[in-house]
């Protein structure tokens, strides 16, 4: 089977550009507003991660979880998304985004979309995720909802 990806938008992926309100104290940005996204993406938990320059995370995907990433800076990120949902009208589409300090945005990644990102800026970068499912379920007593592709030497999800 040919698994070549078409560079194109992916159905159900949502980008919400974030405005930073800057004044003499610094800046403020609204990360989540319930009146701007579908209720199915409302968060159940949130975390922040620091990714050092030139470091990549992923590719991986979720079976049930929707990720609500916020790329605000410091630093900029290259994000690659692959539609791995066989029933999707955009199956085998691939999208490349550049978000972060220069283009702050929230990125909603639904289940079945393989995703990876790399810090392409020259400084440590923060990423916030407000996922709609609890990591490892309630009280961390359920299987983790991740399909990891980064360790598979035969993966079709190549970060280029």
Examine the pLDDT at 1 and tell me if it is beyond 90: no
pLDDT of 19 > 80? The answer is yes
Mean pLDDT, range 85-106, rounded to an integer: 97
Domain residues for 119?
Answer: 6-148
How far apart are alpha carbons 25 and 3 in whole angstroms?
A: 50
User: What is the per-residue pLDDT across 56-82, written as a single tens digit (0 to 9) for each?
Assistant: 999 999 999 999 999 999 999 999 999
Looking at the domain assignment, is residue 156 inside a domain? no
Residue 160 is predicted with a pLDDT of 84
Residue 1 lies in a domain: no
Which pLDDT belongs to residue 2? 58
Helix (H, G, I), strand (E, B) or coil at 142: coil
pLDDT band (50, 70, 90) for residue 83: very high
The domain tally of the chain equals 1
**In the Cβ-directed half-sphere of 160, how many Cα atoms lie within 13 Å?**
9
Residue 159 lies in a domain: no
Residue 157, in any domain of the structure: no
Backbone angles phi, psi at 73, to 5 degrees: 105, 175
**CB environment 137-153: b (16+ within 10 A), e (fewer):** eeeeeeeebeeebeeee
Provide the CATH number for the domain around residue 113.
Answer: 2.60.120.10
**CA pair distance 57, 108, nearest whole angstrom:** 17
């Amino acid at each position: 089977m040919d698994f070549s990806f078409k560079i194109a938008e992916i159905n159900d992926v949502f980008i919400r550009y974030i405005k930073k309100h800057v004044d003499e104290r610094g800046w403020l940005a609204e990360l989540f507003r319930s009146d701007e996204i579908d209720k199915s993406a409302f968060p159940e938990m949130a975390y922040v991660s620091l990714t050092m320059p030139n470091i990549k995370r992923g590719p991986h995907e979720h079976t049930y979880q929707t990720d609500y990433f916020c790329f605000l800076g410091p630093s900029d990120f290259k994000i690659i998304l692959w539609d791995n949902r066989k029933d999707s009208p955009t199956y085998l589409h691939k999208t490349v985004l550049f978000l972060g300090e220069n283009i702050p945005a929230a990125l909603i990644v639904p289940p079945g979309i393989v995703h990876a990102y790399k810090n392409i800026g020259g400084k440590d970068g923060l990423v916030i995720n407000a996922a709609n499912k609890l990591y490892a379920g309630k009280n961390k007593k359920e299987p983790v909802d991740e399909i990891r592709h980064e360790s598979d030497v035969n993966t079709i999800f190549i970060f280029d």
